Chains A and B, each alone.
Chain A
Amino acid sequence: MTEKKKDNLTKVMDYLKHEDPFSKGVAFCPGCGLELLLRFIPQVMGNDIVITGTPSCSAPVLLGQNNQSWHTLSYFGTLMTGAAANATGLARYYRKAGIKNTVVCFNGDGTAADIGFGNLSGAAERNEPFIYICYDNEGYMNTGIQKSGTTPFGATTTTTPFGSASKGKNLRRMNLALKMAMHKIPYAATATLSDLDDLAKKLLKAKEAKKRGFAFLHVFAPCTTGWGFAPENTIEVCRRAVKTNYFPLWEAENGKIRMTKTVKKPKPVSTYTELIKKFAHLSQEDLQILQDDVDYEYCMLGGLSLLEGECRLPASLED
């Protein structure tokens, strides 16, 4: 009986080779997607990583308080305007000193897409040897749920409220991961928490690609408090985001895009928005705009991934 049961064990368990370096009781909200991601990364990539990060939801835990910390990893706290630049310095020092470890720049979408995008773009262009992980909760959740560049159309935040004068965000979101892939870095990918085997594979690939240069991961991590959904729905929100093509999963090596999960019959985006309170006010017309935006982004991505077989890379980059 026991042997039979052991065969059922999910394959994701095989990726969790290292110890969880975090203390069990850390100060994240119940059902937080970020906490799962943060505990998952060192368990897959190993505990010899140095994390640099900025003021964000992850900072209270990663930075620690007074002389004490919540984890046994190394952490370097930086400003939002210079996250990638500081990671560059660290990575270059370790390379020069001959220390083999992995520098992981772990930031929210506010730093990656808005405030720190300048030096993120610069570090990608210079092909610096570190991994940049952006956890996307679609807003500045730590400071009180303000809108960011990746907040989708129609979402209510404290700076784009719903009322007589405003109907949520009236602009469309940017596609950060695609923008980073267009830097033609060795590895760029999107991932989410419902597909943990996919996430683990991408983390290991990023660690491998780091030897050749810059690696970027865009991870969709829903926020129960800021978006307004029940804590038990965190994984379900991720799953529906993938099934509606709201957040497609793909990877790009040297700018060549390849879909890692294709959805045969994508569901309408309303199956995703119905779970979340920040979209509760959307009318049919607004939903149609969001649907068109999602379709447009997916169409663009599909077109780029079709070119995978046809495009020739410069000879120096081919393995």
Chain B
Amino acid sequence: MSSNKYFKHEGPWSDSNDPLMCSDTGDWRTKRPVVDKDKCIFCGFCAIYCPIQVMEMVEESYFSPDLDFCKGCGICAKECPKNAISMMPEGDFKK
């Protein structure tokens, strides 16, 4: 999986012509964060505290995780002041 599509800028002293390494960390997850759009007050605490920084703004009205890389640590659900994020078992989503 190449991740170069995520970068617009390259550091001036580095050579990253080779594709960057990128693990499929979404595979590690046992619980998945599910955002309740109505409860979300758009404070952004989930986004700043997310260690992987995968919470993305959607239409400037709520946040949603990038499930390709979310490791499922649950910090977003714990830090959400309105309890708008719940951690659901990953097994419920697999067919």
A26 proximity list for chain B (CB < 8 A)? 22-23, 25, 52
Indicate whether A65 sits within 8 Å of B21 (C-beta atoms), given known contacts A5-B42, A25-B3, A50-B13. Answer: yes
Number of interface residues of B (CB under 8 A): 51
Q: Contact check, A47 vs B9: say whether CB atoms are below 8 A apart.
A: yes
Q: Contact check, B11 vs A73: say whether CB atoms are below 8 A apart.
A: yes
Q: Contact check, B48 vs A5: say whether CB atoms are below 8 A apart.
A: no
Q: Contact check, B3 vs A232: say whether CB atoms are below 8 A apart.
A: no
Question: CA–CA, A10 to B8, complex, Å?
Answer: 25
Residue of B50, B52, B74, B87 ringed by the most chain A CB atoms within 10 A: B52
Q: Contact check, B44 vs A13: say whether CB atoms are below 8 A apart.
A: yes
**Within 8 Å of chain B (Cβ to Cβ): is A28?**
yes
Question: CA–CA, A8 to B80, complex, Å?
Answer: 13
Q: Contact check, A24 vs B13: say whether CB atoms are below 8 A apart.
A: no
Closest to A1 in B: B61
Q: Contact check, A24 vs B51: say whether CB atoms are below 8 A apart.
A: no
Q: Contact check, B10 vs A72: say whether CB atoms are below 8 A apart.
A: yes
**Within 8 Å of chain B (Cβ to Cβ): is A71?**
yes
Q: Contact check, B41 vs A19: say whether CB atoms are below 8 A apart.
A: no
Q: Contact check, A39 vs B53: say whether CB atoms are below 8 A apart.
A: yes
B24 proximity list for chain A (CB < 8 A)? 25
Q: Which one of A131-139, A182-190, A233-241, A292-300 is at the B interface? A: A233-241
Question: CA–CA, A160 to B11, complex, Å?
Answer: 42
B73 proximity list for chain A (CB < 8 A)? 30-31, 224, 231-232, 234
Q: Contact check, B14 vs A35: say whether CB atoms are below 8 A apart.
A: no
Q: Contact check, B14 vs A73: say whether CB atoms are below 8 A apart.
A: yes
In which size bucket is the chain A interface?
35 or more
Q: Which B64-94 residues have a C-beta within 8 angstroms of A?
A: 66, 68-69, 71-75, 77-79, 87
Question: CA–CA, A94 to B68, complex, Å?
Answer: 39
Q: Contact check, B60 vs A6: say whether CB atoms are below 8 A apart.
A: yes
Partner of A25, one of B8, B11, B25, B75: B25
Q: Contact check, B10 vs A64: say whether CB atoms are below 8 A apart.
A: no
Q: Contact check, B51 vs A72: say whether CB atoms are below 8 A apart.
A: no
Q: Mark A6-42, 1 if CB is under 8 A from B, else 0.
A: 1011101100100111011111101111011001000
Q: Mark B35-66, 1 if CB is under 8 A from A, else 0.
A: 00000011111011111111000011100001
**Within 8 Å of chain B (Cβ to Cβ): is A305?**
no
Binding site for B on A (CB under 8 A): 1-2, 5-6, 8-10, 12-13, 16, 19-21, 23-28, 30-33, 35-36, 39, 47-48, 50, 64-65, 67-74, 101, 193, 196, 224, 230-236
Binding site for A on B (CB under 8 A): 1, 3, 6-14, 16, 18-26, 28-29, 41-45, 47-54, 59-61, 66, 68-69, 71-75, 77-79, 87
5 contacts between A and B (CB under 8 A): A25-B52, A69-B14, A72-B11, A196-B49, A232-B77
